Amino acid sequence: MIFYDISMTIKEQMAVYKDKEEKRPHLIVKSDFSNSPVYETRLELDLHTGTHIDMPRHVFPDGTTSEHWGHEEFFTRCVVLDFTSSDDEMVTARHLEDKDTEKHISNPTIKRGKTVLLKTKNSLQDAFDFNFTYLARSGAAYLAKKNIRGVGIDALGIERNQAGHATHKLLLKAGIWIIEGLCLREVPEGDYILAVMPLKVKGVEAMPARAVLLDPNAMLIP
Amino acid sequence: MIFYDISMTIKEQMAVYKDKEEKRPHLIVKSDFSNSPVYETRLELDLHTGTHIDMPRHVFPDGTTSEHWGHEEFFTRCVVLDFTSSDDEMVTARHLEDKDTEKHISNPTIKRGKTVLLKTKNSLQDAFDFNFTYLARSGAAYLAKKNIRGVGIDALGIERNQAGHATHKLLLKAGIWIIEGLCLREVPEGDYILAVMPLKVKGVEAMPARAVLLDPNAMLIP
């Protein structure tokens, strides 16, 4: 069965947004076998470090928080679009439209109800890149019109240096959820089922998540 | 489609093991709209608070850690066994054997390759109960012989007051993973698919997880 784990590994020495030390996770050992019969650890994790879902509250004061992420979002049809050969630092409406009309793909790839994952040059490197490829405002507007379900990207942000966080706001206003921090290096372009299961934290603007891609036609357990 | 979210909600005022303050999660707001264009939170979470998987390192100095939890464990066939009508404070080999041979269930319910979830009186209450129902050593030995995949329980511990953590050690030595902190109140006894997706934290003895139960016969997305 097709199975890709597309989640970042959480560890102290991982890439964090803009290399900010305060965004680094910490693992604090609370007991080990020198002082206890059990080994126990506490995790300190910025909710925007590693693979995570952004909820509207991240950019809107009156936006919804984690408990509004419903169970219909756990498993969605999904398409991975590969932009690794592009020299541009952003994915625009034109890039997306080109994919949608490529001759060798029989159906329009960006369809109502799907989640769209953007594989970019970001997937080819491990360290944080201040010039990471992002989804441009025009690309977000293109996707918002398509009534898709969610958008994911292989960067710790879905946009950078855009006034007023236009990409976040266009998507979230359209009811499209955002997943950041995906690892897509090994994943070929194509259709999958995306399983995303975030931690069930109450009342927050972002949720750390595990995300995997599955065979779109398979039974879960044959 | 059948769908039960069997994960605990992570929030400051949740039940934690033995009501210990140091096991309580904290949500620390790092920026809000008074000082930033975005809202961002940091989470401090004991790895044994809320729904989580125990790895062998939790009780064995040379035990394996999180990276050894493989992708074949994300989706498993599973049976929920209901012991809520039992007056005993533990699930023993006899309790399990009784379930296995009940006349109204056509097949043996505890089978090789399955995950077994124990629904007990713990599911009927929200606060931490110092006398929580647990899996007795004899029950663990019974399950270890069945070559099952995993065991889950609706308590923050799978055992209490057993010398040397016999239940943990019997199960983990047999290669059976343990999931603690499940919410099974609404779940009827029966067969399901269990989807468990833990945070991908490297090198730890326990992993916070989201867990849901699905229709055992359904396509993931019809």
Give pLDDT tens digits for B30-49: 999 999 999 999 999 999 99
At residue A111, the 3 state secondary structure works out as: coil
Tell me what the mean pLDDT of segment A157-170 comes to: 94
Q: Do B219 and A221 lie within an 8 Å CB cutoff? A: no
Residue to substitute from A16, A45, A111, A160, interface B, most B β-carbons within 10 A: A45
Residue to substitute from B52, B126, B204, interface A, most A β-carbons within 10 A: B204
Chain A nearest-CA residue for B37: A59
- Of A208, A217, A85, give the one whose Cα is nearest residue A156: A208
> Which chain B residues are closer than 8 Å to A212 by Cβ?
71, 74, 197
- A100 versus A73: the higher-pLDDT residue is A73
CATH number of B3-9+46-214: 3.50.30.50
Quote the ipTM score.
0.95
Q: What is the pLDDT of residue B222?
A: 58
Which residue ranges make up each domain of chain A?
Answer: 3-8+48-214
- Of B77, B84, B89, B98, give the one whose Cα is nearest residue B185: B84
The answer regarding whether domain A3-8+48-214 maps to CATH 3.40.50.670 reads: no
- Of B27, B52, B16, give the one whose Cα is nearest residue B152: B52
Q: Do B40 and A198 lie within an 8 Å CB cutoff? A: no
Q: What is the pLDDT of residue A107?
A: 58
Per-residue pLDDT of chain B (222 residues; tens, 9 = 90+): 789 999 999 999 999 999 999 999 999 999 999 999 999 999 999 999 999 999 999 999 999 999 999 999 999 999 999 999 999 999 999 999 999 887 555 555 898 899 999 999 999 999 999 999 999 999 999 999 998 999 999 999 999 988 899 999 999 999 999 999 999 999 999 999 999 999 999 999 999 999 999 988 877 765
Q: Do B10 and A200 lie within an 8 Å CB cutoff? A: yes
Q: What is the pLDDT of residue B216?
A: 85
Q: Do A30 and B10 lie within an 8 Å CB cutoff? A: no
Q: How many Cβ pairs within 8 Å bridge chains A and B?
A: 169
Among A3-7, A86-90, A106-110, A111-115, the minimum mean pLDDT is found in A106-110
Tell me what the mean pLDDT of segment A10-31 comes to: 97
Angular region, A72: left φ>0, alpha ψ -120 to 50, beta rest: alpha
Q: What is the pLDDT of residue A104?
A: 54
